[in-house]
Structure 1
Amino acid sequence: MGRSLQDWKFMTGISPQALGIIIPETCSAIIQVLQKDYIRFPSNPQEWQTVASQFLHQWDFPNCGGAINGKHVRNVPPPNSGSYYFNYKGFSSIVMLAVVTANYEFIYLDVGKNGRNSDGGVIVQMGFYQPFQNGTLGLPPPEENVAVLNFVFVADEAFALGEHLMRTPEQRVFNYRQWLRMPLA
């Protein structure tokens, strides 16, 4: 669990009001300096093809730009916040939503939306969602992809299906290599 600004006041000798300014500014500075080195979001078809080749090599999944999922991170809600952070799982949280490569490397991360939002509700608030929906994300066109298929992202049932968003199969592992080798009767 996180600590309150009051707790930090006693540990640092800095007032909660000043900490309320210092902490967000420091986090923003860290993100601005380190994000480009550690969380690199693809910006053109060639970079997306690099991500897709990882999925093809690692998971035999063609034309995949990333796996999207969310996690509700427990928190202690601010005083007088009511049900603003209370989620459908029955506890107070903030939502972390991420897009990862086949090697589990973050290429996009959004943290801090209130817990009452579902994963599917948070995705529409993410910075990459609008370009994702209107086709300006820089994804390769179908004719440049394996088997002339759309470039897609995979997610679970919390997310609505779309032209570039598909779900993973429910509760089963489907090995298409074995399926292709099955004799037809």
Structure 2
Amino acid sequence: MRGKTAEDARLLELLDPVAEAAGYEIVRLRLMGGAEKRRLQVMAERAVDGDMNIDDCARLSRVLSEVMDAADPITGEYVLEVSSPGIDRPLTRLKDFETYEGLEAKIELDRLAEGRKRFKGVLAGVEDETTIAIDLEGEEHTALVPFAWITDAKLVMSDQLMKRGAEERARRLQSDMTSEEEG
């Protein structure tokens, strides 16, 4: 889910270790566009706290550019775009479903389940390291969905998500101010 195509998967194999060595985790990678001008979109976050600010984007972009220039894995011209996953972020790793438990999400499957592929509900964690749990709208029981069936998942913008984002920013600012006072 972090990449959609075989080419995305090869780029992840190349770039994951580089990002990790720099202290980041790639949340999602997409190579988009035709043969002429392509765009390599990398969504990432700091491994230590899940944050990603403009300085982090620039730093990771420089590190990835060096490797991409040396390895030259993409034919033709492309533009590298490094960004934060954003507040209504994609959920691409099993750990994302744990981290954002209690928040509303939309998921799409690669097959029909109970006659449909798209579901919306509140994330209820992870079962047995291969299955996500979600409390679906209008359903009495928690649904268990194999992680391998999910092709797309993202958080839904809500007041609860906005509040959580604001609380996390306030904590980071407080932590930064405390660090500056001690230093």
Query: Quick check: TM above 0.5?
Result: no
Higher strand share: 2
The bucket for the TM-score relative to the shorter chain is: under 0.3
Larger radius of gyration: 1
Give the TM-score normalised by the residue count of structure 2.
0.22
